[in-house]
């Protein structure tokens, strides 16, 4: 633990913090190198004519995305969003208020794209895009996890996440990209996953996992790789293959498939559910990453595509895969049409692993023994992108109910965290949206404050000792920040980790 970084104290009352201007002004994630930038087709370094190019790019985005233009014009500065961001709550920096973050962009928009801003800039809060402003964009648009919590409270539905994505897209286009996100995207293009885990290493890992599970429970649970003709292609975050506690959920998925008798496979070509193309707001990168899944599905001839526990991956799969790839209806290029005729449409395409597991539990195809988790008092952390960017099942709010239903089937003791911190109002873990990097550790610790406060409350009142979630980033972030708040890092785990403990694989 870095000695100089400390968690902020819990608030006595969960109200807006005292404002500390400039508190996070120096916080900046590492800038991408030439090599990382150029691998994605972006300029290697800040280009000489960055000002004109940035304004031109902004103009393009305003034309392309009507929502972006509406968000630039619609804000009435009512302040309803100002205390809703976990980074403002944790840091007190007023530029981390959602409305102030938006205004970093809006002030430049006014100067260059509105008549009053051109002629009376001072009167309407318009300002030129100077180098100082560009640096401020880089700092504060990489202090937004694109969690969309603020948009829930905005009477006009203004989505700060979309403004952040536009800002990052502009920054990349002038050669001012973020090392963490862009390096990861490069690894997916080159190797197939965020971690740069090559096919042979993945094969070894899965083989080792089969042995470990056999030793632990005496059953031959398979973790197949690149099996042609399997019914299900599982696309899961690469952290599931080796990180703790992620791997325990992978074991859970394997046991579910085993107990239900469903043939499945992982793909070495699409060994990553995560799609950081969304975080940098770049459609081409988003599509290129998603197309690896289509290519793998076509090559393996699978009938179903199931997505593992990953928040933003499920948002991309649920909301965008149809038009990006033809998984679901939407795209109409020849490969999309081929894939649509290959997939079995009596199942949802794509399907979340929680939807699959809950359906099997409801139909009594698999049985869980909840007493296997009696040592736990469980709570559930809703992940932002699942909560505010997707759904599950075929009813409103399924993304909240289905994971909870699974937990209640797998464990006898479940309690909710406080209202206002769960479901659509859930707080980000503090590490989403491309911020899960150690160069932003201070921000991540501060940003997790509201979630840690809510967790502390159920620990004190109900002795909660397991916080389940369905997101690889949440798991990694909490594992890192929990000790700063005095918790054991093993408090966090996956929903399918509980399933893994409870599932009946043979006789009871
Ligand atoms: S999207 Fe989330 S991180 Fe970004 S400003 Fe809104 S609340 Fe803060
Ligand atoms: S809640 Fe909406 S309208 Fe009000 S200040 Fe925030 S973004 Fe602007």
Q: Which residue has the tokens 């930038």?
A: 37
Separation of alpha carbons 387 and 404, rounded Å: 13
pLDDT recorded at residue 12? 72
By residue count, the chain amounts to 508
Separation of alpha carbons 426 and 411, rounded Å: 22
Considering only CA atoms, which residue is closest to atom 4 of ligand 1? 144
Instruction: Say what the pTM is.
Output: 0.95
Q: What is the mean pLDDT of residues 286-292?
A: 95
pLDDT recorded at residue 284? 96
pLDDT recorded at residue 1? 44
In angstroms, the Cα distances linking 325 to 64, 236, 287, 338, 362 are 20, 17, 8, 11, 31
pLDDT recorded at residue 507? 58
- Which strand (E) or helix (H) includes residue 104? helix 98-113
In angstroms, the Cα distances linking 259 to 231, 252, 267, 320, 470 are 15, 10, 21, 31, 21
233 pairs with which residues across the strands?
Answer: 265, 305
| Residues in contact with ligand 1 (CB, 6 Å cut-off) | 84-85, 87, 98, 101, 144-150, 160-161, 164, 428
Q: What digits encode the pLDDT tens for the residues 333-375?
A: 899 999 999 999 999 999 999 999 999 999 999 999 999 999 9
- Which strand (E) or helix (H) includes residue 473? helix 472-481
How far does the centroid of ligand 2 lie from the alpha carbon of residue 277, in Å? Answer: 27
- Reported in sequence order, the residue ranges of 277-382 that DSSP labels E, i.e. its strands, are 304-307, 351-352, 378-380
Whether residue 163 contacts residue 71, with contact meaning beta carbons closer than 8 Å, is answered with yes
How far does the centroid of ligand 1 lie from the alpha carbon of residue 227, in Å? Answer: 41
For the ranges 79-83, 191-195, 340-344, which has the lowest average pLDDT? 191-195
Which residue among 90, 91, 92, 98 is best mutated to probe the pocket of ligand 1, counting the most ligand atoms within 8 A of its Cβ? 98
For the ranges 296-310, 318-332, 388-402, 404-418, which has the lowest average pLDDT? 318-332
Helices (H), 43-147: 50-64, 66-74, 86-91, 98-113, 115-119, 131-141
Percent of the chain scoring above 70 in pLDDT = 99
| Environment class of 165 (CB within 10 Å of its CB; exposed 0-12, middle 13-18, buried 19+) | buried
Q: How far is CA 350 from the centre of its chain?
A: 17
- The tally of CA atoms less than 13 A away on the side-chain side of residue 471 is 28
- Give per-residue burial for 317-347: e unless 16+ CB within 10 Å, then b: bbbbbbbbbbbbeebeeeebeebbeebeeeb
Considering only CA atoms, which residue is closest to atom 1 of ligand 2? 154
CATH number given to 38-177 = 1.10.1060
How far does the centroid of ligand 1 lie from the alpha carbon of residue 146, in Å? Answer: 5
Beta strand pairing call for 466-469 and 492-494: parallel
Q: What is the rounded average pLDDT for all residues in the chain?
A: 95
Ligand positioned closest to the Cα atom of 155: 2
How far does the centroid of ligand 2 lie from the alpha carbon of residue 151, in Å? Answer: 8
Ligand positioned closest to the Cα atom of 73: 2
pLDDT recorded at residue 3? 54
Q: In ligand 1, which atom is closest to the CA atom of 428? A: 2
What does the domain layout of the chain look like in residue ranges?
Answer: 38-177, 188-355, 367-502
How far does the centroid of ligand 2 lie from the alpha carbon of residue 152, in Å? Answer: 10
pLDDT recorded at residue 317? 97
Whether residue 307 contacts residue 317, with contact meaning beta carbons closer than 8 Å, is answered with yes
How far does the centroid of ligand 2 lie from the alpha carbon of residue 459, in Å? Answer: 34
SS3 416: coil
């Amino acid at each position: 633990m870095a000695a100089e970084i400390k968690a902020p104290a819990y608030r006595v009352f969960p109200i807006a913090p005292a404002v500390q201007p400039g508190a996070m002004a120096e916080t900046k994630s590492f800038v991408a190198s030439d090599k990382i930038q150029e691998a994605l087709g972006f300029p290697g370094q800040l280009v000489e004519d960055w000002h004109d190019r940035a304004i031109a790019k902004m103009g393009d985005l305003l034309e392309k995305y009507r929502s972006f233009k509406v968000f630039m014009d619609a804000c009435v500065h009512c302040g309803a969003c100002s205390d809703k961001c976990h980074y403002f709550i944790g840091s007190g920096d007023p530029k981390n208020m959602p409305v102030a973050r938006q205004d970093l962009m809006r002030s430049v928009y006014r100067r260059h794209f509105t008549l009053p801003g051109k002629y009376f800039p001072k009167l309407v809060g318009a300002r030129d895009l100077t180098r100082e402003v560009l640096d401020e964009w880089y700092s504060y648009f990489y202090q937004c996890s694109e969690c969309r919590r603020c948009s829930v409270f905005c009477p006009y539905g203004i989505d700060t996440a979309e403004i952040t994505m536009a800002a990052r897209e502009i920054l990349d286009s002038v050669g001012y990209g973020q090392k963490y996100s862009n390096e990861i995207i490069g690894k997916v293009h080159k190797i197939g996953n965020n971690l740069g885990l090559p096919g042979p290493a993945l094969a070894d890992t899965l083989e080792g996992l089969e042995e470990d599970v056999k030793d632990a429970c005496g059953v031959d649970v398979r973790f197949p790789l690149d099996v042609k003709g399997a019914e299900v292609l599982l696309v899961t975050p690469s952290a599931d293959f080796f990180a703790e506690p992620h791997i325990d959920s992978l074991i859970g998925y394997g046991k579910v498939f085993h107990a239900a008798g469903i043939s499945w496979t992982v793909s070495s070509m699409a060994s990553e559910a995560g799609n950081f193309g969304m975080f940098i707001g770049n459609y081409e990168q988003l599509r290129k990453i998603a197309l690896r899944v289509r290519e793998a599905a076509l090559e393996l001839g699978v009938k179903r595509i199931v997505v593992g526990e990953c928040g933003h991956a499920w948002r991309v799969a649920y909301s965008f895969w149809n038009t990006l790839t033809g998984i679901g209806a939407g795209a109409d290029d020849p490969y999309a049409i081929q894939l649509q005729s290959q997939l079995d449409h009596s199942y949802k395409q794509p399907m979340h692993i929680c939807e699959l597991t809950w359906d099997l539990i409801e139909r009594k195809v698999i049985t869980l023994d909840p007493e296997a988790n009696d040592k736990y008092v469980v709570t559930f952390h809703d992940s932002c992108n699942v909560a505010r960017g997707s759904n599950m099942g075929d009813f409103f709010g399924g993304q909240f109910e289905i994971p909870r239903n699974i937990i209640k089937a797998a464990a006898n003791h479940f309690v909710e965290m406080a209202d206002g911190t769960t479901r659509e109002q859930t707080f980000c873990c503090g590490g989403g949206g491309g911020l899960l990097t150690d160069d932003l550790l201070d921000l991540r610790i501060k940003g997790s404050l509201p979630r840690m406060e809510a967790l502390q409350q159920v620990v004190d009142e109900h002795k909660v000792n397991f916080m389940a979630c369905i997101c690889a980033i949440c798991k990694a972030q909490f594992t890192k920040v929990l000790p700063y708040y005095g918790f054991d890092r093993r408090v966090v785990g996956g929903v399918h980790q509980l399933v893994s403990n409870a599932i009946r694989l043979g006789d009871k």
